[in-house]
Amino acid sequence: MRTIEDDVWVYYGYPNEYWRQKCKTCRHKVLDSKRPQPECINCWKVEIWSESPWLLEAEASTQPFGDGAFAFICGFLSGLDAEENMERLKRVHGLAFRLYLQLGARLVAKVSKYPIQLVRTGEPLIQYPNSKKDFLFMIYASSIRERDELRRAVCRILHVDPSVIGTIPVRRGCWVYENILGPWQKWYQMDEDCKVNGPF
């Protein structure tokens, strides 16, 4: 399994030149034009917080992690003293590991190594944890179809009904751009991909 890490994140499926260039291109275009770009509009994130209500509910019916998953996850647990944090980290890394086994190199994602500030900008808002900080497993997609395929794959792994996909929060673009561009929900039609040669 290919992962790299920095001070905050463990990255799955990196380095990925497509995503590296997409982020760089989007950053420059947004700062120059102050308008949403196709690179932002077609950049979806599936947000899985370790304490999300839908995930905690699904966890009750989830099969235990296999030995391989547990051994892999243990590599990220050093320095975490609180048992509660260890359980939360195992929850998101275990899910990332199992999704990687299903998708292989198609998975581009990251998991925070520590609880990070919870930014509630995705949809649906009601599925965010109540805490101020939590572990985040964020999966990248470049279309609405790919976004929903990833959500369905998560449901398969958790053995939950596919109807749950609508409760897994998603957002497009980077939340840091909302200061410049306004809320992402107003950038473009919610259920449409932006054509590269479209209005932006």
Place of tokens 């998953």: 69
pTM recorded for the entire structure = 0.86
Distance CA 105, CA 40 (A): 22
Whole-number pLDDT of residue 136: 95
pLDDT above 60: residue 125:
yes
Task: Find the helix packing angle between 83-103 and 67-74, rounded to 10°.
Answer: 120
Task: Find the helix packing angle between 144-158 and 83-103, rounded to 10°.
Answer: 120
* 165-190 pLDDT, tens digit each: 899 999 999 888 888 999 999 999 98
Q: For the residues 160-165, what does the mean pLDDT come to?
A: 86
Which of 68, 62, 72, 91 has its CA nearest to residue 155?
Answer: 62
* Residues paired with 111 in a beta bridge: 10, 137
Whole-number pLDDT of residue 198: 45
* 10-56 pLDDT, tens digit each: 888 876 677 777 788 888 889 999 998 888 899 999 999 999 998 98
